[in-house]
Amino acid sequence: MALLSTVGVAAAQDTELHPGQPHPWQINLQEALSPIEAQIHWFSNYTLAFIIPITILVAGLLGWCMYRFSAKRNPVPSRTSHNTTIEVIWTLAPVIILLFLAIPSFQLLTAQYNPSREPELTVKATGYQWYWGYEYQPAGASPEAAASPVSFESYPLTEEDRESAGKGDKAAYPRLLAVDNEMVVPVNTVVRVLSTSADVIHSFAMPSMGVKVDAVPGRVNEYFFEPLREGIFYGQCSELCGQAHYNMPIAVRVVSKEQFATWYAAAGEDLTNANAQLTAAIEAASAPKVAGR
């Protein structure tokens, strides 16, 4: 018991320090880091409030029938062929329950495709076997910026490249989830994701942001998310797409709006240097302050 308690505490601390990724002993959904994911959490708990009592009721009825109406206790079976009251109950009850589930379900579905305000940033995510390509188009960008948007590929980070990339911390950059170039977006910003594919069907999925949208060749699917917290958050391709499907991660780095503006201005010419400067700025902002300095 002591070992299980220690493991549970360690997992909880890891979740707090590094949200937006799977953790050992995790049984619930990932922490909600966007308004839509918060609504998904609510709907999941709301649905469980119906599923659990229904499951208990059905299991209880099955157990009672197996006991009460076994051949030993009930050698002469009933000849009843019709009971109006029971038939009305088992017809109306499921209809009412389904209505209680359908109405909030449709409300959530509507919210997923209708953001609260106009998107301030558009990122086109193109799936390849087996990596992602990102192309940026901020809202209100100048014609010059629109003609040459920031674009780059995001490949899975190999174990050999960790140290050279400055990503040796496996808690912050997990195995099979870390990438060489994260998608960078500003916090508290509505981001439009345009998802497509260059070869087979992929799926762009970010569990903590409530994002899951198919990437289909020859088609562009649209989705939205609004990150509420700074940090690096992870997802994966969630459509079976070939032998390296298991290693097609998605990493989103959420930064302040000022940091994003600086990064975006530099990323068009030198992505590597822009990422290095962004990492340095984040580390400087999170470093403990010394009194009097």
Per-residue model confidence as pLDDT tens digits over 258-276:
999 999 988 888 898 999 8
Please check whether residue 172 is in contact with residue 102, taking contact to mean a CB–CB distance below 8 angstroms: no
- Is the pLDDT at 95 greater than 50? The verdict is yes
SS3 17: helix
Q: What are 133's strand-pairing partners?
A: 126, 153
* Confidence class for position 282, pLDDT limits 50, 70, 90: confident
Mean of pLDDT values over 149-161: 90
The CA-atom distances, in angstroms, between 56 and each of 18, 49, 61, 62, 79 are 36, 12, 9, 10, 28
Cα 287 to its chain centre, rounded Å, is 29
Query: What are the beta bridge partners of residue 237?
Result: 204
Structural domains for the chain: 35-74+84-112 (no CATH), 121-284 (2.60.40.420)
Confidence at residue 264, expressed as pLDDT on a 0 to 100 scale? 92
- pLDDT tens per residue, range 161-200: 888 888 888 888 998 999 999 999 999 999 999 999 999 9
Q: What is the pLDDT of residues 209-235, one digit of tens each?
A: 999 999 999 999 999 999 999 999 999
Indicate the average pLDDT of the chain.
86
Please tell me the predicted confidence (pLDDT) of residue 142: 46
Is the pLDDT at 283 greater than 50? The verdict is: yes
Distance CA 267, CA 254 (A): 15
CB 145 within 8 A of CB 119: no
